[in-house]
Amino acid sequence: MNPRVGSVRHLADVVHEHAATTPTGLAIAHVTDATADGSVHELTYQELDLAARRVAGVLALACRPGDRALLLYPDGADFAAAFLGCLYAGVVAVPSPLPGSYRHQQRRVAAIAADAEPAAVLTAEATRAEVSTFMDAAGLQQTAFVVTSALDAPPVDDPIPTGPDSLALLQYTSGSTGTPKGVMLTQANIAENAAMLVSNFRMSATTKFGAWIPHYHDMGLMGLILPAWYVGSSATIMSPTAFLRRPVRWLEVVDEHDLDWSAAPNFAYDLCARMVTDDQLDGLDLSRWRYAANGSERVQAGTLDAFAERFAPAGFRREALNPCYGLAEATVFVSGTGCRPPVIRRVDEAALGAGTMTPANVPVPTPATRDLVSCGIVRDLDALVVDPEDGTVLPRGRVGELWLRGSSVGAGYWRNPEETERVFNGTTADGRSGYLRTGDLAVIDHDDELYVTGRIKELIIVRGRNIYPQDIEHTIREEIPDFRGLFGAAFGVSSHAGDEMIAVVHEVRPGLKEEQLAQIGGAVKLTVAREIGVLAAAVQLVRRGSVERTTSGKVQRLAIRDAFLRGQHKALWSAVDPEVALTDEDRRGS
């Protein structure tokens, strides 16, 4: 069954139908170990349907339709049954990461719980103690607590009837540019978005899905699990931790499980290209991988080249690389390159900074050029590039804010009418309304190809020139070997006179001496000046793991900027220009 845009079906009804028509068909598989000999926990559609109906039976006693249920699960099939059980019961699912052991993780989950006000908290047996402790600390003692592993409750017979505009889940944003907000996604949103993705990539029940992206992330849930269920196929999931510890494990899973579709942010492809050894490469067969989707952060042309070259001996085909664009506010998927090789355009950097996409007719990259990767054509949504200041719709080839309107755009932010009005009801200068303001800077060319160039809030403007932090970060990692495989952030700061300046915070490997750190810090300043053409007014080198990232791996530049201004980084080496205006001047550093 291939759902089509415009024909909305309740996800619960779709899975319930699969359980009746293909009961032994594989619905979800969890690879439980970081090595190739690890076990696999599988659920057929019949087993998934029964487990979900049992969860729904318990929720019917603790919740009313429209109540929220906070889902705090480790990786595994238990989450799948709990999520589906919420939909069976007409309860709004709230996927979330586990509280974890770090304060910033616990604060994030506590903020989600405070905003969603769940009537129930669901978890697995393996995390019962952790979640119970969190509930006590978060003041959720009176909230229903359900451990769904091996639940033996009476199942409901059928999913509760719900309309297309009823809420299916709250998808909390990753918070890379601000406090997480709950995007309200309806039954229609998730159905239409799954149909858009399936149509763009010509998927069917024979398409096998799989990835390491967390189930609480929009790419992991709406970009992997739900499309697989909509077409009656299977989703194979693995631990993000297993991938980060041993990147080749992702590729082994693609090979072992004959995956057609697997997705990850750009950094994951970069990590594999750099970290997978010749011995690990030997024996890999990636020739059957049809869709290597790259999204969730800006796609780098160099990463595509490096990955394709590195894994060509394993049978990987460059045309399998599929740069995509999406965001939680539009459910997830907006555009992708589909069944064709990536499109890369070399453009003039100065012209781009001035707001125009101008081809650079040179055979190799230079400091005066930038290679932009197309994220495909927006086919199922109304897409405009708009001047964010006055709402003027810009012509093809001009850089502006990407605005979207259509059936997979969410209903707004949960209990946040002001932000909902600002973000979800953009109105152009000529009176067109109801647009989602993505906050992303983009350009659509004359072939309708979408190129995303950065984030509005993260854009650095130095003496009238637009500078993208991603360009600085990418450049220093390419030029400074000590930064390979580590994370950093570039961002704008103000001088005492009010001018914008550039700051860089980057991780370094342990064990470096003071003179080595000073050399690296100097290399950052030199590289930024030489390759970007501006001065870095502040450079801080910090321990590995200190650069805060979202659950999907995106660098949280604004959070890092705030910590820098407050002097909260425990820098191993620091050089901050006296002109930089810090929140806490007493903690300026050396």
Beta-strand relationship, 500-508 and 182-186: unpaired
pLDDT of residue 498 exceeding 80, the answer is no
pLDDT of residue 494 exceeding 50, the answer is yes
How many C-beta atoms surround the C-beta of residue 577 within 10 A?
Answer: 15
Element (H, E) at 276: none
Q: Lowest-pLDDT range, 29-38, 409-418, 475-484, 515-524?
A: 29-38
Element (H, E) at 19: helix 11-21
Stated pTM of the model: 0.83
Closest CA to 88 of 156, 189, 185: 156
Average pLDDT score over residue span 186-209: 94
To 5 degrees, how large is the angle CA 327–CA 402–CA 445? 115
Q: Lowest-pLDDT range, 172-176, 277-281, 495-499?
A: 172-176
pLDDT of residue 109: 92
Nearest-angstrom CA–CA distance, 399 and 394? 8
pLDDT (tens digit per residue) in 60-110: 999 999 999 999 999 999 999 999 999 999 999 999 999 988 776 788 899
Closest CA to 384 of 376, 394, 374, 397: 394
pLDDT of residue 551: 73
Q: Is residue 495 very low, low, confident or very high in pLDDT (cuts 50, 70, 90)?
A: confident
Nearest-angstrom CA–CA distance, 548 and 56? 37
Nearest-angstrom CA–CA distance, 311 and 277? 11
DSSP category for residue 100: -
Average pLDDT score over residue span 405-425: 96
Give the DSSP letter string of 494-548. Answer: EBTTS-EEEEEEEEE-TT--HHHHHHHHHHHHHHIIIIISS-EEEEEEEETT-S-
Report whether 468 contacts 454 (CB < 8 A).
Answer: yes
Report whether 448 contacts 491 (CB < 8 A).
Answer: no
pLDDT (tens digit per residue) in 135-167: 999 999 999 999 998 788 899 999 988 889 999
Nearest-angstrom CA–CA distance, 234 and 258? 11
Lookup: tokens for 361:
């007719």
384 forms bridges with which residues in the sheet? Answer: 403
pLDDT of residue 587 exceeding 80, the answer is no
Query: Which residue intervals of 246-321 are DSSP H helices?
Result: 248-256, 266-275, 278-281, 301-311
| 26 φ, ψ (degrees, to nearest 5) | -70, 130
Nearest-angstrom CA–CA distance, 446 and 434? 25
Q: What domains lie within the chain, and their CATH numbers?
A: 11-264 (3.40.50.12780), 344-455 (2.30.38.10), 460-587 (3.30.300.30)
Beta-strand relationship, 382-386 and 369-373: unpaired
pLDDT of residue 585 exceeding 70, the answer is no
Q: Lowest-pLDDT range, 195-204, 351-360, 451-460?
A: 451-460
pLDDT of residue 177: 42
Nearest-angstrom CA–CA distance, 561 and 148? 40
Nearest-angstrom CA–CA distance, 44 and 71? 21
Lookup: tokens for 563:
């910590």
Cα 362 to its chain centre, rounded Å, is: 33
Q: Is residue 455 very low, low, confident or very high in pLDDT (cuts 50, 70, 90)?
A: confident
Lookup: tokens for 11:
């996800």
pLDDT of residue 219 exceeding 70, the answer is yes
Radius of gyration of the CA atoms of the chain, in A: 24
pLDDT (tens digit per residue) in 527-560: 999 888 889 999 999 999 999 988 777 888 988 9
Beta strands in 137-205 (DSSP E): 144-147, 167-172, 182-186
pLDDT of residue 3 exceeding 60, the answer is no
